[in-house]
Structures are given as C-alpha cells and as structure tokens.
Chains A and B, each alone.
Chain A
C-alpha cells in the first residue's frame, strides 16, 4: 500500500497562468475527493468522483476549476487563469468506504 500521492508537491505560478495537479489514489479505492485548505481552516470540499464519474461539485467552485478522472484511477485538477486568492494547499483523498485517506497535498502559490 503506497498511499495517496500528489504531484507536484509545490507549485509557484504567476497570476493568469493555468496549473494542473495530479492525484494517484490508493489502487483499490473507487472514491476520490479534492479539497482546498488555507491557513487556519479545515479542508474545504471541491469535488467528488466515484470511479470516473464526477458525482458532486461544490457550488463554491468557479468555472476556472475543472477536474477529471478519465479511467477511474488517477485524477487531475486544473485551475485556469489563476488568481492570488487561489493560493492554498490542494488535497486529494481516496476512499473505499466512509473514511478517507489523504495525500500530502500540493501547495500552490500565485504571485
């Protein structure tokens, strides 16, 4: 069991650029979640996949955010036209049931 991995671990980008993050879940987990976490806050739900289907998406998620899980395995989260307010830790979690297993996160800094 190699756990949930995320790539890259850190990303610095300029405002207006697009960024893409990757998440590799635990192999037997069919459920995958993306969260955003800022300093002093708990993780904020962004979206949920069951296999390749995106079943739930936060209303807070703007049109600049999109996520995919094309074959029900790894997932990508893309942010277009980044803004300074997008600076945060982006967490991925996978699950086979109720409890989630989190990756180490990708820290995004928008300058």
Chain B
C-alpha cells in the first residue's frame, strides 16, 4: 500500500540552529514529493516539491529538501531556524499514474528563542 510517514510528532530546535523534519514514503512507481506548512488559523501553504531532476530542491522561506531514492526519504531542512518557522509541517506524496495525494500526519516544529 502507498504510504508516507513523518516519524516525529514534534521537533524542537533553537533559533539559529539548523533544522530537519523527516519524511519517508512507500509508493509504486515514480514518486512526486511535496512539503506544506500550516500556520495557526491559516490554510495549508505549499513550500516545495520534487518531481524530477536535481535531488536537492529549494523552496519558500529558505527551506530545502533532498530526495533520496535509496532511502525513500524526502527530509525538509533549513540551515538557520527562525522563531517564525514554528508551525505544523506536512509531507505529501503522489505517484505516477494517479492524481491522488497522500499526506503524512504532520510534524510540529517549535523554534525556541
């Protein structure tokens, strides 16, 4: 069965430190991978995507993610965290031959001043 996993419910990081939010997936066919962010009382916002090509993708607000096919992972990273990055982050996957997206359960990122 197709699935996506975010193994950490919450990640705490000090402001200025690098952050990583983990995502792994299991799909048949080529994966299309996405990160979305949800701020309190606001809708989900697109951050970045991997469709094909360079494994390192850059997105909004200084975030980046690396597609690792052998480890079936797509971890979200940022070199220097800001307090304003505190939010709920969702990883999502779609695969070739379908229009359906599967979202992870979300990881709450808390950046401490």
Contacts and interface: CB of A to CB of B under 8 A. Distances in A.
Interface residues of B, number: 22
A98 B94 contact: yes
A42 B34 contact: no
A25 interface: no
Contact of B101 (A4, A41, A100): A100
Interface string B70-113: 00000000000000000000101010001111111110000000
Contacts of A4: 43
A42 B107 CA distance: 10
Contact of B98 (A43, A56, A99): A56
Interface residues of A, number: 25
Given A56-B98, A98-B49, A102-B45, A43 B34 contact: no
Contact of B103 (A44, A55, A101, A105): A44
Contacts of B36: 102
Contact of A56 (B32, B45, B99): B99
Nearest to A100: B46
Question: What's the dominant secondary structure at chain B's contact region?
Answer: strand
Contact of A42 (B43, B46, B99, B105): B105
A44 B51 CA distance: 21
Closest 10 CB pairs of A and B: A42-B103, A102-B44, A99-B46, A102-B43, A48-B99, A43-B103, A104-B43, A56-B99, A45-B100, A42-B90
12 contacts: A40-B105, A41-B106, A42-B90, A42-B92, A42-B104, A42-B105, A42-B106, A43-B44, A43-B90, A45-B101, A91-B43, A99-B46
Interface of A: 4, 31, 33, 35, 40-45, 48, 50, 55-56, 58, 91, 93, 98-105
Interface of B: 32, 34, 36, 42-46, 49, 51, 90, 92, 94, 98-106
